[in-house]
Amino acid sequence: MTNQMTITFPDDWHIHLRDHDALKTTVPHAAQSFKRAIVMPNTTPPIKNRQDAEAYYARIQKHIPEGSDFQPLMTLYLTPDTTADIIEDAKASGIVHAVKLYPAGVTTNSTAGVSSLSNLYPVFEKMAEIGLPLLIHGEASDPEIDIFDRESTFIEQELKPLHTKIPTLKIVLEHITTKDAVEFVLAANNNVGATLTPQHLLFNRNSLLSGGIKPHLYCLPILKRETHRQALIEAATSGNPKFFIGTDSAPHAQSAKESSCGCAGCYSALTAISHYAEAFEHMNALDKLEAFLGHYGADFYGLPRNTEMITLVREDWTPPESYSYLENEHLIPLGAKQVLKWKVK
């Protein structure tokens, strides 16, 4: 039995840091767990151009702990008004590494997103030309579509035509939740990859709904059937470089999660590595963990792999019940009050 692993320092290819006072908490947590992180742009207001990205980058930099070389990798928020010139200017900044597509209204702070992709094909062609990846929250936005079918519907109606039309565009289908998504990624060319969250690898919709609603497991895309979770964990542990870490860690105050209309998102910045190790061990695939956490994402983005290492040890530990957040608020981490089996030494 493996009791200790020394692996490449992980990156996170999908994280939410929010903005302003939230950064006092989220940035140190991210820097503790990851060397680099793709930072989502759905702040309020969203990050729409190079100037927005540079200002946001500067705000994040102020909260990186002394002695840390954590690197935030910035993204733009795709809107109906995004142009090829905006994309080219952002790429030239050197700090913008991707563009995020939110179908309008599908998740937190997505009202400024897009309702149709067809008008944005010139933008996607420019992104393909200059090598800027498109990150996709892959859910249909039509409220009449069953929430458990929105990912598969988006893939059929929007994603497959886009990939067929512009096969040179690098695409990351983020936080995938279905067997349909796994099959799409496997069938697509090598310009298509996918991120997987710890919650989608470890939990299914029974975990969310059986015996009472668990608000801290509520995220979007929503947890699916066990057959879909099995497809995800098999993809993650397969050693296929198309699948890599993306925690989708999202800070929502306890009062906002535990309310009559609780918001979507799991906060895993400080526990995700332990969760991934547990998921991989369940599949007897700990030998595949290092590449999933530290190699495949960097390779997909064309960035050098990290050279620093971390050590994971088999040691029971329980995350804090909460972290202080904003003014008189708390963040409940994924795995709160649970005994986790792997710990970063």
pLDDT (tens digit, 9 = 90+) per residue, 47-86? 999 999 999 999 999 999 999 999 999 999 999 999 999 9
Which regions of 127-167 does DSSP assign to beta strands (E)? 134-136
CA 182 to chain CA centroid, Å, is: 16
Does the pLDDT value for residue 314 go beyond 90?
A: yes
Average confidence (pLDDT) over 220-224: 97
The answer to whether residue 109 scores a pLDDT higher than 80 is no
Question: Could you give the CA distance from residue 150 to residue 214 in angstroms, rounded to a whole number?
Answer: 21
The mean per-residue pLDDT over the stretch 298-306 comes to 98
- Identify the residue whose tokens are 């971390």: 310
Across residues 266-275, what is the average pLDDT? 98
To the question of whether residue 186 is assigned a binding role by annotation, the answer is: no
| pLDDT attached to residue 334 | 98
* pLDDT attached to residue 113: 85
Annotated binding residue 286: no
CA distance 20 to 308: 30
Residue range 10-35: mean pLDDT, rounded = 98
pLDDT band, residue 162 (cuts 50/70/90): very high
Once rounded to an integer, what is the mean pLDDT over residues 144-173?
A: 97
According to DSSP, the β-strands at 309-317 and 340-344 are: antiparallel
Give 20's pLDDT tier (boundaries 50, 70, 90).
very high
Contact 48, 82 (CB under 8 A): yes
Tell me: is residue 16 an annotated ligand-binding position.
Answer: yes
Mean pLDDT of the chain: 97
Give the pLDDT band of residue 276 (cuts 50, 70, 90).
very high
| Res. 111 pLDDT band, cuts 50 70 90 | confident
Tokens 């290092």 belong to 290
222-241 average pLDDT score: 98
49 is in an annotated binding site: no
Q: Quick check: helix, strand or coil at residue 139?
A: coil
At residue 107, does pLDDT exceed 90? Answer: no
Residue 264 is assigned to a ligand binding site: yes
The residue with greater pLDDT, 110 or 312, is 312
Number of Cβ atoms within 10 Å of the Cβ of 8: 18
What is the band of 286 on the pLDDT scale with cuts at 50, 70, 90?
A: very high
Catalogue the active-site residues: 248
Query: Does the annotation flag 97 for ligand binding?
Result: no
- If you search the block for the tokens 């102020």, which residue do you land on? 62
Q: Which of 201, 285, 186 is nearest to 240 (CA)?
A: 186
pLDDT of residue 108: 80
Is 139 in contact with 221 (CB distance < 8 Å)? yes
pLDDT at res. 40: 98
Question: Binding site annotation covers 17?
Answer: yes
For the residues 250-263, what does the mean pLDDT come to?
96
Question: Average of pLDDT values for 25-43?
Answer: 98
Using CB atoms within 10 Å of the CB of residue 49, give its burial: 0 to 12 exposed, 13 to 18 middle, 19+ buried. Answer: buried
pLDDT of res. 110: 77
Q: What's the mean pLDDT in 13-41?
A: 98
Query: What does the pLDDT read at residue 250?
Result: 98
Contacts (Cβ under 8 Å, ≥6 apart) of 133: 97, 98, 99, 127, 170, 171, 172, 300, 301
252 marked as binding residue: yes
pLDDT tens digits, residue range 180-196?
A: 999 999 999 999 999 99
